[in-house]
Structure 1
Amino acid sequence: MDTQVISTICSNILPQIHLQVHKLTVEEHSMKQILYAANYPQLYSLSLVNFHEITLHRYLTDDLILRDLLTKQITHLNIDIIKPVELCSEIVSNMFALILSLCKKLIALNFCDMFPTRQFQSLIFHVILEIFISSTLMKLKINVVSLIDCLYILDGPFVCLSTLIINIGQIFHICLRIDPTKKLPQLKCLSFTVQIGRLNSTYIDGIQLYDQFLIYMTQLKKFTFNIKSEVYDMNVEVELQSNEDIQRSFIGRGYQKVASYVNTNVCSRYSECHIYSLPYDFEFYVYPQNSFQRGMFHKVRKLKMSDGIPFEHKLFKFIAQEFPFFKFLYICNDNRQDDKQDSSTLITFPYLTFLDLEKAHVDYAELFLLEKNMHLPCLVNLSINNKSLTTITNNFTNDPTL
């Protein structure tokens, strides 16, 4: 926002409405000016967006007005960091601990998971060990590096935590200083996303989820999950489950409807299985091979398509119907389309703002960028390799409507 506009708002508007302000969203360059413009006695929800990690950490450490608000008033806090200086940033980890120690009335925290295109993983298990017990936090949304972070959250200081929405980067075995059989009586809602690489093992299925995970969550009322198992066979005979086996593993254990996709490649050392609860409850849908369940993807905003066989025109018609609100599309497929005869039907993606065709065959550039094939009224960002772009435009000489 223009600095002059912000100055006008802070000088003329906020002093008049400050008693009625309940929720506030501020950016890095305007936060201090807005917070110092007036007192906000009714403010309970604060969103800090577009911050650099060092700047936000400095504010949390040194800014007395912000610290006072967090300590005495804020019950709902949303944090957004533009981009960490490094993966698993120590500053971000310390910021998580600092927020929890400052916010004495905090009920809900979204930590760096506000936007589907700007998510990064936090390494937090080591700082959780130093956090005093939080008697107020009931809802947490976060991305973490590994299952270890997740387990320490569940075993940690959040005695009232009832809703956990968590995306886990990886799972590996390590000695933990926690009780793996500890009951979690307060947890009522768990949303769980993970992509797992396994060596000489089977796919994650309903039996494993229940016996090793859910059985300890005695009061859980809602469990939504999105799990992809990638199995690597290093010349060890492992009998992998079929899609029918996966579906049967969820029967009789209290699960709601579950979708599954199994791709067991006997000629390769790599196989995969994707399982997720329905209706699909996540903003990001990854690796949707040429197989979908109908009517379940209205919450998806970010879609990544990757496969070893071509995506045909009819599949994109299906996606337009089943993913009606997505805004970000990534296509990774270097296989040319086999059937272009059906391309006479115009496809519309009304909310698509970002399209990535960097790793896509030129056929997909032709399909999406020629107006006779696609209508993309909101597209503002395009990532495409120069060869594809010059090919479909005949070195930028073609009429784009043809």
Structure 2
Amino acid sequence: MSERELMVQAWATSDPGRVRKHNEDSWLIEAELGLYIVCDGMGGFKRGDVASGLACSVMRETIAAGKRSLTLHKAQRSAATTAAVEALLRNAVQRACEEIYQASSALTGDGGRMGTTLDAVLLVGNQAFTAHVGDGRIYLIRQGEAHQVTEDHSLVQQQVREGLLTPDQARKARNKNVITRALGVFPSVLVDLLSVDLGPGDALLLCSDGLHNYLGAEDLLGPVATGNGGTEELVGMANQRGGRDNITCLVLAARGPAEGNHLPSSAPAEHIDVLRRCDLFSFCTYRELVQVAAVCQAREVPAETVLFKEEDLGRECYILQSGVVEVLRGGVSLATLEPPAYFGEMAFIDSPRRSATVITKERSRFLVLSRNDFLRLTRQDSTLATKLMWRLLHHLARMVRQTNTLVISGTATMELDDDSVSELK
């Protein structure tokens, strides 16, 4: 069964700024395809405007040619259809990169090279697939907070990630405009993909660095909440604060579905919220939580449901979103768990047999993360892998200490019993 779609509105504003004579940014709103793009042609190279415009047109042509993948995903979302949409989006970016590279020598000569950044959203149903290359940004605006869901491909951001600069030093660095990835500089490019489930009231903001160099995340909230996207106001604010670069801003806002189409109003936000409160993900950024939420399955089961039994093969970890579960071993109750507890995490390590039985005591909802999806996430993102493995090690260390305490306590009790027997003798 296809999901009931949200209604989406989109707005865009682009301006050359107060210093530059030409605008090398480009943007695209193709509502029929669900495709939204902001590109920043590289001002340091020749014909950046051509590069950014070509990126938009090639992306549109490629996505349109693969529209069947979008239709199938809308009709029945699955791991296979998700992978097909991701492959289509990645291929569109690579085709754009290759065509810009090939056109470069013809337009600029052997001594020139044109290039562009790219931030794109492909909306399929209520799932937004994002593609990111360069130092533009995509923000998710949800429940009064703005979250950056892309990471700048810039020299200073790389230095921050490696601990060579603090975020404050990076903001003041002279070389902060040096980027490490762009379309067209080489025949192919590494693209960051992410998917975000949208709910009513959510908005996505795509912008060039001409906007985010002057505006922080908190500056975005008021204008976007006005109901008309706020793009003109945001571009005006960037101009007032300097406007030294071209400025482009695109906002797409999700509203409730048409009357009669019921949709849980906050399901995507609730999933992120339970992950934020779960100890296993306590080191994760919002962007990383979005990555995890995208591969979790939501399940709701009635009371007295056996989730798994002792000696069952474990392949999933459960994060309790609502309800209560009881953990038993050999018929003896060991613990009662409430949100945001998690259990079954040993399945991530070596797929062991379950050491206990878990039963729901009331209707309960879970986010379920499979071993395969966990391993795929950790292979794709080494930073996320480090954070999750660190939390797992911390949890295992705590379990070992508790076990040691019980063993020592039990040994002491046995020694006391032996002493009592000796006294009786």
TM-score range, shorter chain: under 0.3
TM value normalised by structure 1: 0.25
Which structure is larger by alpha-carbon Rg, 1 or 2? 2
TM value normalised by structure 2: 0.24
The higher relative CO (CA closer than 8 Å, separation ≥ 6) is in 2
